[in-house]
Amino acid sequence: MDIQTLTFLIVGASFALYIGIAIWARAGSTKEFYVAGGGVHPVANGMATAADWMSAASFISMAGLISFMGYDGGVYLMGWTGGYVLLALCLAPYLRKFGKFTVPDFVGDRYYSQAARTVAVFCAIFVSFTYVAGQMRGVGVVFSRFLEVDIEWGVVIGMAIVFFYAVLGGMKGITYTQVAQYCVLIFAYLVPAVFISIMMTGTVFPQIGLGSELVSEPGVYLMDKLDGLSTELGFAAYTDGSKATIDVFFITAALMVGTAGLPHVIVRFFTVPKVRDARISAGWALVFIAILYTTAPAIAAFARVNMIDTINGTDMQGTQYEEAPSWVKNWEETGLIKWEDKNNDGRMFYAADERNEMKIDRDIMVLANPEIANLPNWVIALVAAGGVAAALSTAAGLLLVISTAISHDLLKRNFAPNISDKQELLAARLAAAAAICVAGYFGINPPGFVAQVVAFAFGLAASSFFPAIILGIFSKTMNKEGAIAGMLSGITFTAAYIIYFKFINPAGNVPENWWFGISPEGIGTLGMIVNFVVSIAVSKVTAPVPEDVQDMVESIRFPKGAGEAHDH
């Protein structure tokens, strides 16, 4: 069967599965809609969290990024996993004990202030929209390459599927579809990685293959070959970074702390029955994430060696364009690979210096990898289904945060506290539907700044939510004045730095101009420190925390008596 028929079959089958689950897991109350009734098994919640967390960027782009960045790619690997340690140890169990539905719920109640709640709601909505636009785009790209429909139609099909299970099932539907999506995406990620690992290094586990000798050149380690190729072609050695150490440090910290402060991740820990389930569930989530994240660096290294060998030829003379494998031409059509024969010898050549004739988009590394390694067609179709699963699962989780923020935090807690559960559920569904349409619009007409604002989302979460929540749990004396001043100063500082270098003066976005050599991607860490300092300073000179709030802090510090996630 040809690739396209296979892709239709496999992607179609996965869609049928998601819709089936959605019908089975309809939500009957706001509690089911917001937190899946609080009855999700911790392992299932771990899987759902992993699928929720691993977006189109993790699945499609990350290995490609590492492939092109070498050692520096470690910032993503450590940053996007290390945050789970913070979540498990410092946030999840306490927020589960607190036992309401959303992050703004906690901020508003702990800081006894509508203003704090409103700041949190807007941060949550902004962060989530930033993210979701990128997911819809990811769905569009996969559809357009593998199913040869327009990106617009790809986005519309993706919207329709998410609409179906998010609006119908809320958190309950999303959770169980995410479990299925995790299985699809991890299978799709591992199959080509294992195949390629066996072909190149003779080892089944890609994680071990990374440190093994090459089958084609016994006695030569994969990493040494890669370092050799990189320096020969004018790149930095693969195992050395080109970023400054301080920048690597700050970016990693911002991604870790940002991860722990993202509302769509935190809210997943409200869905399990007990405090100890929240703890173990974070562990399972990281296990499921680590399976993909430890495979990614292996894929990155395999793909880079394969790609250079294919384009430059094993003799390093360049491959004749006429003899180029079909994947080069397939991807040329999408504009993600470009070849310009500068020296008119009819051969392709890839290098960092003036010999270079290729433009290769890093996003194709995972999607084209099975083709580069000559794997069977069904593997290529599987990767397409995996990419769609990764994008849809994350999009759904984010859309739920948006709809919850509107129906619960804004409507129920602010404007119309007297609406019934049925009305609130209807509002949540309408908000989810509206959010999907807005997200779809941005997917079809992506604003040019989507790539830039991803750094924004992490920086914002790191410099606003994280310190407010940590102080709310670990300090009984942190008052509303301190928390609000801290959140506002953290956000303002971080946003100003990012906006200056990304939008006002992009030409000046070079290490010489950065404060202490910290790039806009890493500035959230400094913003977080600003937040902590301002919060503590302000709280020292303003009114003390009311007695009942101090008692609440006391009560979230031990598990007994958590009960179910409760209504107000």
Partner 1 sequence: MAFENEQLAKEYWKANLRLMLTLLVIWFVASFGLGILLAEPLNVIRLGGVKLGFWFAQQGSIYIFVALIFVYVWQMNKLDQKFGVREE
Residue numbers at the binding site for partner 1 (CB under 8 A) = 66, 71, 73-74, 77-78, 81-82, 84-85, 88-90, 93, 207-208, 210-213, 221-224, 239-240, 245, 248-249, 252-253, 256, 274-276, 279-280, 282-283, 286-287, 290, 293-294, 297, 554, 557-562
Closest approach of partner 1 to the CB of residue 224, in Å: 7
Assigned token pair, 165:
């299970």
Closest approach of partner 1 to the CB of residue 418, in Å: 33
Closest approach of partner 1 to the CB of residue 204, in Å: 15
DSSP state of 213: B
Closest approach of partner 1 to the CB of residue 84, in Å: 7
SS3 of 240, please?
coil
How far apart, in whole angstroms, are the C-alpha atoms of residue 26 and residue 11? 23
Closest approach of partner 1 to the CB of residue 450, in Å: 27
Assigned token pair, 524:
């959230």
The closest of 320, 311, 339, 327 to 368, measured between CA atoms, is 327
Instruction: Considering the complex, state which of residue 281 and residue 404 has its C-beta at the smaller distance from partner 1.
Output: 281
Closest approach of partner 1 to the CB of residue 476, in Å: 11
Tell me which residue has tokens 């599927």.
161
Closest approach of partner 1 to the CB of residue 75, in Å: 8
Instruction: Considering the complex, state which of residue 81 and residue 404 has its C-beta at the smaller distance from partner 1.
Output: 81
How far apart, in whole angstroms, are the C-alpha atoms of residue 405 and residue 106? 12
Assigned token pair, 109:
């109640």
DSSP assignment string, 73-103? GHHHHHHHHHHHHHIIIIIHHHHHHH--S-H
Closest approach of partner 1 to the CB of residue 190, in Å: 16
Judge contact between 404 and 34, C-beta under 8 A.
yes
Assigned token pair, 192:
């080509």
Neighbours of 320 (CB within 10 A): 12
Closest approach of partner 1 to the CB of residue 15, in Å: 32
Instruction: Considering the complex, state which of residue 158 and residue 472 has its C-beta at the smaller distance from partner 1.
Output: 472
Q: Is 509 left (phi over 0), alpha (psi -120 to 50) or beta?
A: beta
Instruction: Considering the complex, state which of residue 258 and residue 443 has its C-beta at the smaller distance from partner 1.
Output: 258
Closest approach of partner 1 to the CB of residue 374, in Å: 24
Closest approach of partner 1 to the CB of residue 397, in Å: 21
How far apart, in whole angstroms, are the C-alpha atoms of residue 5 and residue 367? 17
Closest approach of partner 1 to the CB of residue 496, in Å: 26
Instruction: Considering the complex, state which of residue 417 and residue 561 has its C-beta at the smaller distance from partner 1.
Output: 561
Element (H, E) at 337: strand 337-339
How far apart, in whole angstroms, are the C-alpha atoms of residue 229 and residue 278? 46
How far apart, in whole angstroms, are the C-alpha atoms of residue 232 and residue 9? 44
Residue 71: is it exposed, middle or buried by C-beta count within 10 angstroms (0-12/13-18/19+)? middle
How far apart, in whole angstroms, are the C-alpha atoms of residue 100 and residue 21? 26
Instruction: Considering the complex, state which of residue 151 and residue 255 has its C-beta at the smaller distance from partner 1.
Output: 255
Instruction: Considering the complex, state which of residue 73 and residue 440 has its C-beta at the smaller distance from partner 1.
Output: 73
Closest approach of partner 1 to the CB of residue 563, in Å: 9
555: CB partners within 8 A, 6+ apart: 97, 561
The closest of 76, 366, 73, 365 to 240, measured between CA atoms, is 73
Maximum CA pair distance of the chain? 80
Element (H, E) at 359: strand 358-360
The closest of 306, 335, 334, 282 to 52, measured between CA atoms, is 282
Instruction: Considering the complex, state which of residue 101 and residue 238 has its C-beta at the smaller distance from partner 1.
Output: 238
Tell me which residue has tokens 């450590």.
78
How far apart, in whole angstroms, are the C-alpha atoms of residue 153 and residue 174? 23
How far apart, in whole angstroms, are the C-alpha atoms of residue 384 and residue 148? 12
Instruction: Considering the complex, state which of residue 15 and residue 94 has its C-beta at the smaller distance from partner 1.
Output: 94
Judge contact between 173 and 162, C-beta under 8 A.
no
Instruction: Considering the complex, state which of residue 420 and residue 560 has its C-beta at the smaller distance from partner 1.
Output: 560
Judge contact between 202 and 208, C-beta under 8 A.
no
Judge contact between 439 and 129, C-beta under 8 A.
yes
Tell me which residue has tokens 């930095």.
236
Closest approach of partner 1 to the CB of residue 551, in Å: 10
Tell me which residue has tokens 């499921």.
288
Instruction: Considering the complex, state which of residue 14 and residue 259 has its C-beta at the smaller distance from partner 1.
Output: 259
Instruction: Considering the complex, state which of residue 22 and residue 470 has its C-beta at the smaller distance from partner 1.
Output: 470
- One-letter identity of residue 411: L
Q: Where are the alpha helices (DSSP H) in 219-274?
A: 222-232, 245-261, 263-266
Instruction: Considering the complex, state which of residue 77 and residue 471 has its C-beta at the smaller distance from partner 1.
Output: 77
Instruction: Considering the complex, state which of residue 144 and residue 207 has its C-beta at the smaller distance from partner 1.
Output: 207
